[in-house]
Each structure stands twice: as structure tokens, then as C-alpha cells.
Amino acid sequence: MSRALVIGEALIDIVEGGHERASGTERASRTEHVGGSPLNVAVGLARLGRPVDFLTHIADDERGRRIVKHLEDSGVQLVPGSMTAKRTATARAVLDADGSAHYEFDIDWQLAGTPEVAPPLLVHTGSIATVLEPGCRAVAALLDAYHLSATLTFDPNVRPALISEEETARRRIERLVERCDVVKVSDEDLAWIDPRHSPEQIARTWLSMGPSIVAVTMGSNGAFAVCRAGLVRMPARPVQVVDTVGAGDAFMTGLIDALWSLGLLGADRRRDLARLSADALERVLSTAVLASSLTVARAGADLPDRDALTGS
């Protein structure tokens, strides 16, 4: 077991907002990038030299083939059976003046069967894949199946525009928190999931439910994480923000990569992960924040490779 399996949506981000110059005049820009939170994590891990299989639901159309090429160029192995959709999903991202993105989605999420891959060291999922019917049920079943062999990681990455049954979605998120070893979540996600409590209160509650690490990102205010050894805070790195697309996915990628480097992945290392020290958590969190800062300095979800991460 030496590979990661990432399960989740792949789509095309249609980014609108900002301005570009053409013939001496300014006009609003519109660009398309390959995206999807789980896809970004798969690509990010592969760019860092980690072997990755990716299970998704895309079509054999122009946009789907663009996604396949992006995966191939990054070194990600697409799991057989992933190209069965009628159309490839899109997410229209409108950028505010500060680079923050707001999304509108066109997506059909389905999965069927068991992935034809070797038993993984790590299984990551999150976002749309874990709450959107009917595919979310298959994702939950796969996590149950892989719990005996792999470290499970989860990023809720809530997309309210796609959620019609809010309480059902909250219950699904809670069940995955209970099942997973590492959970990453943003303060914005937590404000939607549980507006009555602070991010720190929720993180500590989630930690008591089963995970070994709960990490919370807070944009320009940095991030913090809790483990059984305590709480660690990490300030954001000063950077010129181009946009925030993929920032949380880069953070998740850095978190996984740092734990991988420490030899803490795989179900047989679950006890060691649970005994993570505060000093080790600080190093892990520092890597995650660095990966995120490098990404927001670029347009779209352009996650760093190993040279960029180690050279910064």
C-alpha cells in the first residue's frame, strides 16, 4: 500500500471577474480552469511526487477530455469507469474585488461499483461528492470499506448552492467526521454547519468524535489545528493574492503530504497519528499554510510542485 485514492468531483471552473487589458481598454475577464476540490487535491499530491488514483464522474466530451489531459499531465491515474457521465460538470466562479470566489454549479454526481485499484494507503474525499445524491451514498460506503486499510481524510468544503436538505447534509458531514482520521474545514464552512458555536469549539467537539487532527483555515487570519496534544495556531504568510480558488485544497494537500513524510499514513499507523505531538502538528500545519499561500498567488487552482514547496 503506497498510493493515495482520491474520490470526488472533477469539473471545469468558469471564472468571471477581475479585469484584463485589451487594445488599451479594460474589460471583465472570463477564463476556464480544470477544477473540483477532490481533483485539486489529487493533482496537488501528484505534483508533490505522491502516487495517486482518482475516482470521479465525468463525460467523454471536450471538457471531460480536458480534465483527463490535466490529470495525465500532473501524473494522476484516472480510475477505470470514471468517464460515464452524460456531461462534464461546471462551476461558475464569480470573483469579488478581493479575489474571493462565489460559485454556481451544473453537476450530476454518481458513482457505481468498487474502484479497480490496489488497497490504498490514504483515501481522501470531500465537498460536493459527500453530500450530493445519489453519489454521496457510494462515497460513504467506500470510506467504510477502506477504513480497515487506509487513513481517511475529509474536507467538507460546503457548497450551499447545491444543498436543498440542509439538516441532511449536516448529518452526513457529522458522520464522515466521526469516521475520518484527519478533517480540514474552513471557518466559513463552520459558520454554515454550526453558527451557534465558535470554530475552536466545533473543532474540539469534532476531535472528540474520532479524528486525530481537525484543522481549520481562516483565510488571511491563518489557520489552527487541534490534536490530542493540544491546539496549534499558524499565521497566514504575506502574499499578493491573485484569487482564492484552490486555496483550501492546497492546504489539504500540504496537510496530507506532511503526514505522509512523517510516515503516519495507513490504518496500521492510526495509533501513532492519534499520538501526534504539538510540535509535529506545528510542522504539519506550517507545510499546509505554505502550500495554500503559494496557490493564492497564482490564477486558478494552480497548486505547487515539490520544488516550489521546498524552495519557499
> Is the distance from CB of 2 to CB of 52 less than 8 angstroms?
no
pLDDT value, residue 19: 47
Query: Listing from the earlier edge strand, what are the strands of the sheet with 52-55?
Result: 77-78, 52-55, 4-7, 122-126, 151-155, 182-186, 213-217, 223-227, 230-234
The dihedral formed by the CA atoms of 55, 5, 207 and 141, expressed in degrees to the nearest 10: 50
pLDDT in tens, 101-123: 677 889 999 997 788 888 899 99
- pLDDT score, position 30: 76
Measure the CA–CA gap between 173 and 184, rounded to whole angstroms: 12
- The answer to whether residues 94 and 30 touch, using CB atoms and an 8 Å cutoff, is no
- Residue 151: its pLDDT value, please? 98
What is the pTM assigned to this prediction?
0.91
Alpha-carbon dihedral angle through residues 141, 144, 147, 148, given to the nearest 10 degrees = -110
Q: Each residue of 251-279: b (16+ CB within 10 Å) or e?
A: bbbbbbbbbbeeebbbbebbeebbebeee
67 burial (CB, 10 Å; 0-12 / 13-18 / 19+) is buried
Cα distance between residue 54 and residue 50, in whole Å: 12
pLDDT in tens, the chain (312 residues): 689 999 999 999 887 765 444 444 444 577 888 989 999 999 999 999 999 999 999 999 999 999 999 999 999 999 999 999 999 999 887 777 766 667 788 999 999 778 888 889 999 999 999 999 999 999 999 999 999 999 999 999 999 988 989 999 999 999 999 999 999 999 999 999 999 999 999 999 999 999 999 999 998 899 999 999 999 999 988 888 777 777 899 999 999 999 999 999 999 999 999 999 999 999 999 999 999 998 887 876 788 889 888 887
| Interaxial angle between packed helices 166-179 and 135-146, expressed in degrees from 0 to 180 and rounded to the nearest 10 | 10
Strand bridging mode 151-155 / 182-186? parallel
How does DSSP classify residue 219?
G
Nearest to 285 by CA among 215, 230, 238, 229: 215
Residue closest to 125 by CA, chosen among 274, 236, 262, 8? 8
3-state DSSP percent of the chain in helix, strand and coil, to 5? 40, 25, 35
